[in-house]
Amino acid sequence: MDYAGIDARNLRFPVNRPLTDPERREQLDPARSTGVAPRIGLSLIKFNSTYIELVDRWYPVKGFNVWLSIMGALAFVPASLYMLIKLIILGEPFAEDERWILWCFWAVIVPLSLFILGGIVWLFRSECFRWTHYPMRVDRRSRQIHFFRQDGTVATGAWDRLFFFIGESTTPPIGRTNDLRVHFLSDDGATVLETFSLGYEYMGGRQDVLGIWEFIREYMESSEAELAGLSRMAPIYMPIHDRKEGFVFGVVRTFANFSRWPWLHLVFSLPYSFIGMARWLAMTTSRIPAWPAEVHASSAIKEDDPHRRDWRDNPPLGFVDDKWPLICTAIGVLTAIWILYTIEQALDLRY
């Protein structure tokens, strides 16, 4: 999955460096349209006359790392403990000419096992016991953008001074992806101090990212009378700004990665059903992010704001969007049970 920019070595966006020529070529001008139709997809949390709030780039795939870590633990930990107990603790003492086996175990197998175990723990902790999401608030009145960092602090930048561009990442096995990226630059305008991903479309292309940019740009540049059309472009609003994402919506959001191809829900029902459960675990163990008082004060909403929208204004979901992912989840779980039962029966017959 695409975790570019997450707080981990080799995945963090590089900072404290000069702007590159490709970044300059990909720069986006807030005052000029790209000609792409605006779209926002499943990125919006809140919409009103003062600001819009968006999800981070890792929100669509949340749960994958937890699922991967659990699968790794189930495959690795029992085998390692069995080898330690059966071979080293309870096994017959090694003969003098076999003691090299014991030395290899402590010199190679144990350090390698600890390294793998550390990777499993990191994968699990990258999504659990952290934040449910890392929101971004684009404020059209103060003309500022607030970014909720991964450590819980907030970065604020002026809309007219930030450096916007189409970023590119390469993450196996996804390959090359694009996102809408933002640089905080030094006073000389040539050194990157901090970088955030402002817009991202999972399994989308460059045009999808440009559509998100046009939505944000038009929101910032439109008059209040023109906001109604933009608010209707969001299919649904993510139900996470004042609550944790529930199990059902987590399953819906997990399978929404293949929303264009409902038949793929059934094809990938086995892994995705458990990824949906892992997503629920990640959400349950994480905290809801809270903006500091100064951000709330600078982006206060009028009580009678006619453009105020959030998850409470979502239309009812249809069968393909709502019921079908839950059915596929049940099929995936039942398939896993059947596979385990078949393996157990085969082992019983063999022994």
According to DSSP, the residues that pair with 185 across neighbouring strands are 192
Name the band, by pLDDT with cuts 50, 70 and 90, for residue 73: very high
pLDDT score recorded for residue 349: 66
Range 41-59 average pLDDT? 95
Q: Do 102 and 83 touch, CB atoms closer than 8 A?
A: no
Token digits for 206?
């460059």
Domain co-membership, 181 together with 206:
yes
Domain co-membership, 240 together with 267:
yes
Token digits for 50?
């003062």
pLDDT score recorded for residue 149: 96
pLDDT score recorded for residue 351: 56
Say whether pLDDT at 98 is over 70.
Answer: no
Range 44-60 average pLDDT? 96
What is the tally of structural domains in the chain? 2
pTM here? Answer: 0.90
Q: Is residue 350 part of a domain?
A: no
Token digits for 97?
């000419």
Q: Is residue 293 part of a domain?
A: yes
Domain co-membership, 205 together with 224:
yes
- Non-local (6+) Cβ contacts of 232 within 8 A are none
Q: Is residue 99 part of a domain?
A: yes
Token digits for 280?
């629920």
Q: Which of 101, 125, 149 is the endpoint of a domain?
A: 125
Name the band, by pLDDT with cuts 50, 70 and 90, for residue 97: low
Range of the domain at 179: 17-66+128-341
Domain co-membership, 162 together with 211:
yes
Domain co-membership, 174 together with 323:
yes
Domain co-membership, 249 together with 295:
yes
Cα–Cα distance, 261 to 274 (Å, whole number): 19
Cα–Cα distance, 262 to 328 (Å, whole number): 10
pLDDT digits (tens, 9 = 90+) for 106-157: 777 778 888 999 999 999 999 999 999 999 999 999 999 999 999 999 999 9
Of 205 and 39, the one with more pLDDT:
39
Cα–Cα distance, 105 to 109 (Å, whole number): 5
Domain co-membership, 326 together with 203:
yes
Q: Is residue 136 part of a domain?
A: yes
Interstrand relation of 144-148 and 27-28 (parallel, antiparallel or unpaired): unpaired
Range 168-178 average pLDDT? 78
Q: Which of 88, 110, 125 is the endpoint of a domain?
A: 125
Domain co-membership, 207 together with 324:
yes
Range 253-277 average pLDDT? 89
Radius of gyration (Cα) for the chain, nearest Å? Answer: 24
Closest CA to 199 of 216, 183, 218: 216
Q: Do 309 and 229 touch, CB atoms closer than 8 A?
A: no
- Tokens 């002026």 belong to residue: 158
Domain co-membership, 323 together with 264:
yes
Of 39 and 346, the one with more pLDDT:
39
